[in-house]
């Protein structure tokens, strides 16, 4: 354990744990306290804001769910997120495979054009896209955030899948070719199943990105019945500024699903968010 | 080999059909609107009728626009502090984890957690922390007898930007820790031990042996926070809306107001074009710095 030996001198051991635990508290406490507050009656919160719930009170959560329409927002988020993730994953796998495995005219220019998107923020297209969606008759429909959402997922998705397919051995595809399979069949039946780790990273990453998207629905989905969770939460906060119990309930409903998914798939999350940074 | 043969080159063409759907999608909803933005930036247009071409008028206006400069200054403050602070914390914590602790995986999971939440959720949580009456921060200050410090953090022009920035730093700390920790896994511990035997103190070992080895990862984190700092919108919009009195205005919130509240689409487009190039230029400089370091 050469590493441990190095370590002991860099930091005093107890002090180290104190700092690490303190950091963990800083990261978790605000979220934890919000959940606790969501479970307390509003009058009790005003008396002692940071106490733990004496008895569990579900009324704030119920009010947020029904009156605050978080039930609707949750469904909207699902309606927007699923097609976006499916679109990004399907198109990225196809394109990433095509770029990494074939040499054809226009390959480099197509790839570079898509990669450029990694550095262009959504704000740089939001204005003309608004009028484009209006002219296409899509503004105010779920498609107005799904279609651009897919386009914006592609630069990272294609980049990720391309570098993954590039590293796979070529011999497998050759075997399929000798057997007379079509190129699409080779992709679908031989290569794609091998790409599972990269695909699951991309699914989780894109899920989180779409689930948390804010500016796009703020601009293109003006109907309050179609708001996804982040947008709903912002308007909810504006409407109930003084009722911290209700706001906490809104936060709890917004955070529990995404944290649950994170805890289940944390390896893919970390990989997705740090891909590119660590290579 | 087979690639040279006729059938081989026929085969290579199949790649085009794999890439085409993604490319068309990308052009329709990303590349084309981006080019439209560049065109719109040279027009005057309130969204009705046709844009009126005005050449570089908007760019001249931009250079003379005090509100733009003060927003850009806020972005620069955001980029500098929002990069330095989380990287400083990230370096300390990741090296601590790397030197071997029990439960490193659990710590990592916890630190990273804020990063998976929507900036809107994070903004709402921190609005509550900063609430002047019942917020965590002011209640805490009153309890330790510092009640006179308990101000409306988001409502004062002097503190609003920094209060929002602290929220972003809180979010990004975990990201920096996790990425730098991953980079540290590749550090050659024998070199570190050799330096120790040669009498290098912990700080020297960190600065001269560890940091050079994680330099590529460090650069990528910097590029990430720099681009993020120039493009930031969500958390500012939710917490202050750029206020009070434009004190926490950044380019993205200013662009939103110009384009969608004042219907000045042409000038809004000019702002977004400039913003993209500023972010790109800054990222490019950071990458160059990285290459210089490798050479």
Task: Give yes or no for residue A241 having a pLDDT over 80.
Answer: no
Cβ contact B19–A101 (<8 Å): no
Q: Is A120 left (phi over 0), alpha (psi -120 to 50) or beta?
A: beta
pLDDT tens string A14-69: 888 999 999 999 999 999 999 998 998 877 777 777 778 877 888 889 988 988 89
Q: Do B179 and A274 touch (CB under 8 A)?
A: yes
Q: Shortest CB distance from B33 goes to which of A4, A132, A237? A: A132
Per-residue model confidence (pLDDT) at position B2 = 44
Contacts of A219 in chain B (CB under 8 A): 260
Q: Is residue B225 part of a domain?
A: yes
Q: In chain A, which residues have their Cβ closer than 8 Å to the Cβ of B275?
A: 121, 123-124
- Give dist(CA B33, CA A121) in Å, integer: 12
Q: What is the pLDDT of residue B114?
A: 94
Quote the tokens at residue A62.
Answer: 């119920």
The better pLDDT of the pair A215, A273 is held by A215
Residues 6+ apart with CB under 8 A from B4: none
> Is the pLDDT reported for residue A179 higher than 90?
no
Where helices occur in B27-148 by DSSP H, the ranges are 32-40, 57-63, 66-98, 104-112, 119-129, 136-143
Average pLDDT over chain A, rounded to an integer: 87
Q: Does any domain span residue B6?
A: no
Reported confidence tier of residue A135, pLDDT bands at 50, 70, 90: very high
Query: Would B1 be classed as within a structural domain?
Result: no
**B11 Cα distance to chain centroid:** 42
SS3 label, residue A136? coil
Q: Taking a contact as any Cβ pair under 8 Å apart, which residues of chain A between 214 and 273 contact chain B? A: 214-215, 219, 229-231, 233-234, 237, 244, 247-248, 250-251, 254-255, 258-259, 262-263, 266, 269-270, 273
Residues 23-62 of A with CB under 8 A from B: 23-24, 26-28, 30-31, 33-34, 45-46, 49-50
Tell me how many domains chain B contains: 1
Q: Which of the residue ranges B9-13, B67-71, B78-82, B128-132 would you say has the lowest mean pLDDT?
A: B9-13
Q: What angle do CA B115, B116, B119 make, to 5 degrees?
A: 75
Question: Which residue of B11, B20, B21, B26 to mutate against A (max A Cβ within 10 Å)?
Answer: B26
Which residue range(s) make up the domain with B80?
Answer: 66-294
Best mutation target, A26, A74, A125, to test chain B (most B CBs within 10 A): A125
Q: Each residue of A113-132: pLDDT tens digit?
A: 999 888 888 999 999 999 99
Do the chains contact at B128 and A208, CB–CB below 8 Å? Answer: no
pLDDT at B96 over 70: yes
Chain B positions touching A110 (Cβ under 8 A) are 19, 23
What are the start-end ranges of the H helices in chain A?
2-10, 13-38, 42-47, 59-66, 70-101, 107-116, 126-135, 143-166, 171-178, 183-185, 192-194, 196-212, 215-220, 229-239, 244-264, 266-274
B9 falls within a domain: no
Residue B32 covered by a domain = no
Per-residue model confidence as pLDDT tens digits over B103-145: 888 999 999 999 999 999 999 999 999 988 878 898 888 888 8
Given an 8 Å threshold on Cβ–Cβ distance, is A102 in contact with B18?
yes
Q: Is residue B289 part of a domain?
A: yes
Chain B closest-CA separation from residue A116 CA (Å): 9
- Among the listed residues A81, A215, A72, A219, the one whose alpha carbon sits nearest the alpha carbon of residue A139: A219
Task: For chain A, give the percent of residues with pLDDT over 90.
Answer: 51
Q: Model confidence over A193-217: pLDDT tens digits?
A: 999 889 998 998 899 899 999 999 9
Compute, in degrees rounded to 10, the torsion defined by CA atoms A15, B175, A230, B156: 60
Full set of structural domains in chain A with CATH: 63-274 (1.10.3720.10)
A159 — pLDDT class (breaks 50, 70, 90) = very high
Q: Averaged over B40-64, what is the pLDDT?
A: 92
Q: Which pLDDT score, from 0 to 100, does residue B283 have?
A: 78
| CA B181/CA B167 separation, integer angstroms | 22
Candidate from A34, A129, A266 with C-beta closest to B109: A266
- C-alpha distances out from residue A16 to A20, A21, B102, B188, B247, Å: 6, 9, 11, 22, 38
CB A205 within 8 A of CB B92: no
What integer pLDDT is reported at residue B48 of this predicted model? 87
* Over residues B78-98, mean pLDDT: 94
Any bridge partners for residue B295, and if so which?
Answer: none
Q: What is the CATH number of the domain that holds B178?
A: 1.10.3720.10
């Amino acid at each position: 354990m050469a590493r441990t030996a190095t370590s002991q001198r860099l930091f005093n051991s107890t002090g180290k744990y104190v700092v690490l635990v303190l950091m963990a508290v800083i990261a978790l406490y605000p979220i934890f306290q919000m959940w606790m507050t969501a479970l307390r009656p509003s009058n009790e919160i005003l008396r002692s804001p940071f106490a733990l719930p004496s008895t569990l009170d579900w009324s704030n959560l119920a009010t947020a769910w029904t009156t605050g329409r978080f039930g609707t927002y949750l469904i909207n988020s699902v309606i927007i997120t699923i097609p976006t993730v499916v679109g990004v994953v399907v198109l990225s796998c196809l394109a990433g495979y095509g770029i990494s495995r074939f040499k054809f005219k226009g390959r480099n220019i197509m790839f570079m054009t898509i990669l450029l998107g990694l550095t262009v923020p959504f704000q740089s297209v939001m204005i003309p896209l608004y009028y484009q969606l209006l002219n296409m008759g899509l503004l105010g429909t779920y498609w107005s955030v799904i279609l651009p959402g897919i386009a914006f997922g592609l630069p990272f998705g294609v980049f990720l899948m391309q570098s993954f397919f590039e590293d796979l051995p070529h011999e497998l595809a050759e075997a399929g070719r000798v057997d007379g399979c079509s190129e699409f069949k080779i992709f679908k039946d031989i290569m794609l199943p091998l790409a599972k780790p990269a695909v699951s990273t991309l699914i989780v990453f894109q899920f989180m990105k779409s689930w948390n998207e804010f500016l796009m629905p703020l601009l293109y989905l003006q109907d309050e019945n179609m708001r996804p969770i982040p947008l709903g939460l912002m308007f909810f906060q504006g409407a109930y500024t003084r009722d911290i119990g209700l706001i906490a309930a809104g936060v709890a409903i917004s955070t529990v699903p995404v944290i649950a998914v994170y805890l289940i798939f944390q390896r893919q999350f970390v990989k997705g968010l740090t891909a590119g940074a660590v290579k | 080999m087979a690639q040279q043969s006729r059938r081989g080159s026929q085969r290579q063409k199949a790649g085009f059909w794999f890439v085409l759907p993604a490319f068309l999608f990308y052009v329709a909803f990303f590349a084309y609107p981006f080019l439209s933005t560049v065109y719109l930036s040279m027009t005057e247009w309130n969204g009705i009728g046709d844009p009126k071409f005005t050449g570089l008028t908007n760019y001249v206006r931009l250079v003379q626009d005090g509100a733009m400069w003060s927003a850009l200054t806020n972005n620069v403050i955001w980029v500098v502090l929002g990069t330095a602070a989380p990287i400083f914390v990230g370096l300390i914590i990741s090296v601590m984890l790397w030197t071997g602790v029990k439960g490193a995986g659990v710590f990592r999971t916890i630190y990273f957690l804020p990063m998976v939440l929507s900036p809107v959720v994070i903004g709402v949580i921190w609005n509550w922390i900063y609430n002047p009456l019942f917020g965590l921060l002011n209640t805490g200050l009153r309890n330790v007898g510092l009640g006179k410090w308990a101000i409306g953090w988001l409502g004062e022009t002097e503190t609003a930007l920094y209060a929002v920035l602290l929220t972003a730093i809180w979010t990004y700390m975990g990201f920096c820790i996790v990425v730098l920790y991953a980079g540290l896994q590749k550090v050659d511990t024998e070199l570190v031990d050799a330096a120790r035997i040669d009498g290098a103190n912990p700080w020297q070992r960190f600065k001269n042996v560890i940091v050079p080895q994680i330099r590529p990862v460090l650069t990528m984190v910097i590029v990430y926070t720099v681009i993020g700092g120039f493009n930031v919108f969500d958390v500012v919009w939710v917490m202050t809306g750029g206020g009070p009195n434009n004190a926490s205005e950044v380019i993205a919130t200013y662009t939103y107001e110009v384009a969608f509240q004042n219907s000045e689409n042409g000038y809004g487009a000019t702002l977004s074009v400039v913003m993209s190039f500023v972010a790109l230029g800054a990222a490019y400089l950071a990458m160059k710095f990285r290459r210089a370091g490798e050479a």
